Amino acid sequence: MNKIILALDTTNLSEAINVTQKVKNKIFTIKIGLEMWNCWGKEAVKKFNQIGINNIFLDLKLADVSNTIKKSILALDGINFEYLTVHSFAGNDSIKKAKEAAKQLNPNLKILAVTLLTSINQSELKSWQINNKVEDLVLNLAKNSSEADGFIASGMESKMLRENFPDHLLFTPGIRMPGDDKHEQKRVTSPSEALKYSDKIIMGRGLTRGNIEENLNQILNSLKI
């Protein structure tokens, strides 16, 4: 099964659907993030359900007290999706409540804990007066949210997380082909590097800028080497 998740970070729903239809048979699923969610909400998910995508990755990065998280997830009733993100720093109590709510919605719904955003590196941690190494902080965040079904983390930490949490899902953003613009991302890896230990990779602009079919074929070919 394909390991690429297409991140649709846009408010243009019709364009996102058109792009998805071109490649939906070559990707694992799509990711709907805050930009599209805040503009379209459940309507966006329903539109993708209508074209046959029901295993949607809903990247809402929830972070709140446990009961609020549970109620927020229960409010997502009526749409089909299979992955939902909660921030690791919300803690295992919130993760447990999230999983309780998830089971009520859909037995297949997986809760993924976001560890440290791939736009943050060691120098930024230092500017916040956080003395932990990035790897140590990611591991601590993962331990703090170990009740989750999986983690969102950079490919730079995927080996470490795989060794410490062999049964958890690992989804990796911050994916760039050699020579690509990193934009705001700082802890990046190539598709092949990330997939040594991660289950899925999440790609947005690296796919959607230019011809998405050509870009996707280039990435798929790189994974065959």
Nearest by Cα to 82 from 101, 102, 61, 64 = 102
Class of residue 31 by CB neighbours under 10 A (exposed 0-12, middle 13-18, buried 19+): buried
Could you give the CA distance from residue 142 to residue 8 in angstroms, rounded to a whole number? 26
Q: Which of 47, 61, 96, 159 is catalytic?
A: 61
Long-range pairs of 69-74 with CB within 8 A, sequence gap ≥ 24: 69/94, 69/97, 69/98, 69/101, 70/97, 70/98, 70/100, 70/101, 71/101, 73/98, 73/101, 73/102, 73/105, 74/101, 74/104, 74/105
For the question of residue 110 being annotated catalytic, the response is no
Is 111 in a helix, a strand, or coil? Answer: strand
For the chain, the residue count is 225
Could you give the CA distance from residue 191 to residue 180 in angstroms, rounded to a whole number? 12
What residue ranges in the chain does DSSP mark as E strands?
Answer: 4-8, 29-32, 57-62, 83-87, 110-114, 150-152, 169-172, 200-203
CA torsion sign for 113, 117, 121, 127 is negative
Which residues are annotated as catalytic? 61
